[in-house]
A = this chain, B = another copy of it.
Amino acid sequence: MQLKEMSKEELEAFLSENKAKLENFKEKNLSLNMARGKPSTQQLDLAVKMLASVNSFDADYSASDGTDCRNYGGLEGICDAKELFAPMLGVSTDEIIIGGNSSLNLMYDTIAKGIIFGVNGVDKPWKDYEKIKWICLVPGYDRHFAICESFGIEMINVPLGKDGPDMDMIESLVANDDTIKGIWCVPMYSNPTGITYSDEVVRRFANLKPKANDFRIFWDNAYCIHHLTDTPDKLLNILDECKKAGTEDMVYIFASTSKISFAGGGIAVLGASKKNVDYLLSLMTIQTIGFDKINQLRHVKFFGSYEGLKEHMKKHAEIIKPKFDVCLEALDKEIAPLGIGEWHKPHGGYFISFNSMDNCAKKIVSLCKEAGVVLTSAGATFPYGKDPNDSNIRIAPTFPTVDELRQAIEIFCIAVKIASAEKLLSEK
């Protein structure tokens, strides 16, 4: 029976039953966390042999072109790392920069350079505008939005659907407003909704005709090889499509091994047209003496090839797929029949995006917290932390153990039921 079809009395009984269940959990003093997309200890253990791949017994610290990875130089990354990661981004080895340990840092710095210097070939830096704007797909990644907010960039929400964002809206926005300088995209296994952009959406991105010649697509392909199933989603190569459309300078592609090797101890990469790469390197050579080449060599020696990277990701999937299943099964069993929430079953990535009935998300997060389950703050998936419907909640199932998760998602379902019943009762 759908919850909204219940009588007042039925709802009250339902509410009090679930409140009692929540009270039971409260007494257990649990401390469970489904808030951040962190790999679990078991996942981190998968790559520990990498830490021995460049060591004192090895006595070979050279890239295959002879570069001593322990010394200065090699701003753009060692040749072997470029070869390893170029196919992951779908670019050639002269269209890639191997960065430090954080792709977020590469994105932030790329915007900072736009602000201070402007983008390649455009003389006017963004600091010389009264205000610039950014398109933010919602729900989306809180740290993307935080960067815009920090820089004082005005964010424009565009809804994300099942096969990508509302392209009509994006085409119209960028065609008419030359103060719109960028857009955040997580095109594959989107954070948090888990959807992947359709071929048509990617082609429409490549064929955008922005009024601003310094408009840039920030293509954060964070989950490009982070599949959960044997039938993964497929994403069209944006740089290839841009080349066909003659817009290859319009896109920057980002990824990292933070959720492949080590979170914070991995390698971040940036893919772009040769022109953009050369321009960014011309600025980066002033900013740093180069990134950590020893860590690049470690990754190269451990993974060997792009095939090796993909094989490694199967081990991650083995660990985290059951966690997604625990959550999705609970939602299917507990929430679906009641008609009080919606979600997508992702084929990869790190999140399940749950949409409650309107005006329930904050309440659900707060109820969970009372029972010892920490969730990402309601609203966090929207710019300025403001979810206009107060309905989206990002569930991050990777870090807890399966047993912890089983409890956490049970509590979550109870919280959804309580918040939904209270809402329906208040409307009776």
At the interface, yes or no: A20 with Cβ under 8 Å from chain B? no
A212 to B287, CA, bound (A): 25
Which residues of A in the span 90-114 have a Cβ within 8 Å of any Cβ on B? 100-102, 104-105, 108-109, 112
At the interface, yes or no: A291 with Cβ under 8 Å from chain B? yes
B264 with A105: CB separation less than 8 A: no
Copies of this chain in the oligomer: 2
Q: Residue of B at shortest CB range from A112?
A: B112
Given A289-B264, A290-B102, A292-B265, residue A71 in contact with residue B44 (CB < 8 A): yes
Q: Residue of B at shortest CB range from A103?
A: B289
A71 to B262, CA, bound (A): 6
A101 to B105, CA, bound (A): 14
Question: What are the residues of chain B within 8 A of A115 when measuring CB–CB?
Answer: 116, 127
Segment at the interface with B among A46-54, A156-164, A236-244, A246-254: A46-54
How many Å from the CB of A260 to the closest CB on chain B?
Answer: 12
Determine which of B38, B116, B146 lies in contact with A71 in the assembled complex, contact meaning CB atoms within 8 Å.
Answer: B38
Question: What are the residues of chain B within 8 A of A287 when measuring CB–CB?
Answer: 104-105, 108-109, 147
How many Å from the CB of A415 to the closest CB on chain B?
Answer: 26
Determine which of B116, B146, B265 lies in contact with A286 in the assembled complex, contact meaning CB atoms within 8 Å.
Answer: B146
Q: Residue of B at shortest CB range from A146?
A: B286
Question: What are the residues of chain B within 8 A of A283 when measuring CB–CB?
Answer: 150
Question: What are the residues of chain B within 8 A of A117 when measuring CB–CB?
Answer: 150
How many Å from the CB of A285 to the closest CB on chain B?
Answer: 8
Question: What are the residues of chain B within 8 A of A292 when measuring CB–CB?
Answer: 100-101, 264-265, 292, 295
Which residues of A in the span 58-102 have a Cβ within 8 Å of any Cβ on B? 58-59, 61, 68-74, 100-102
Determine which of B55, B264, B295 lies in contact with A70 in the assembled complex, contact meaning CB atoms within 8 Å.
Answer: B264
At the interface, yes or no: A41 with Cβ under 8 Å from chain B? yes
How many Å from the CB of A216 to the closest CB on chain B?
Answer: 18
B56 with A44: CB separation less than 8 A: no
Which residues of A in the span 34-49 have a Cβ within 8 Å of any Cβ on B? 36, 38-39, 41, 44, 48-49
Question: What are the residues of chain B within 8 A of A2 when measuring CB–CB?
Answer: none
Question: What are the residues of chain B within 8 A of A30 when measuring CB–CB?
Answer: none
Q: Residue of B at shortest CB range from A266?
A: B292
Given A56-B48, A112-B112, residue A288 in contact with residue B68 (CB < 8 A): no
How many Å from the CB of A97 to the closest CB on chain B?
Answer: 14
Determine which of B52, B108, B151, B291 lies in contact with A55 in the assembled complex, contact meaning CB atoms within 8 Å.
Answer: B52
Mask: chain A, 294-312; 1 = CB below 8 Å from B; 0 = not: 1100000000000000000
Question: What are the residues of chain B within 8 A of A391 when measuring CB–CB?
Answer: none
Mask: chain A, 318-351; 1 = CB below 8 Å from B; 0 = not: 0000000000000000000000000000000000
Q: Residue of B at shortest CB range from A267?
A: B292
At the interface, yes or no: A201 with Cβ under 8 Å from chain B? no
At the interface, yes or no: A258 with Cβ under 8 Å from chain B? yes
Question: What are the residues of chain B within 8 A of A38 when measuring CB–CB?
Answer: 71-72
Q: Residue of B at shortest CB range from A59?
A: B48
At the interface, yes or no: A293 with Cβ under 8 Å from chain B? yes
A52 with B57: CB separation less than 8 A: yes
How many Å from the CB of A152 to the closest CB on chain B?
Answer: 9
Question: What are the residues of chain B within 8 A of A51 when measuring CB–CB?
Answer: 54-56, 58, 294
Question: What are the residues of chain B within 8 A of A116 when measuring CB–CB?
Answer: 112, 115-116, 127, 151
Q: Residue of B at shortest CB range from A39?
A: B71
Q: A44-B68, A100-B101 are in contact. List 4 more A-B contacts (CB 8 A).
A: A51-B294, A70-B264, A72-B258, A265-B293
Which positions in A face B, CB cutoff 8 Å? 36, 38-39, 41, 44, 48-52, 54-59, 61, 68-74, 100-102, 104-105, 108-109, 112, 115-117, 127, 143, 146-147, 150-151, 258, 262-265, 283, 286-295
For the complex of A and B, the 3 pairs showing the least CB-CB separation, nearest first, are A265-B294, A105-B288, A52-B55
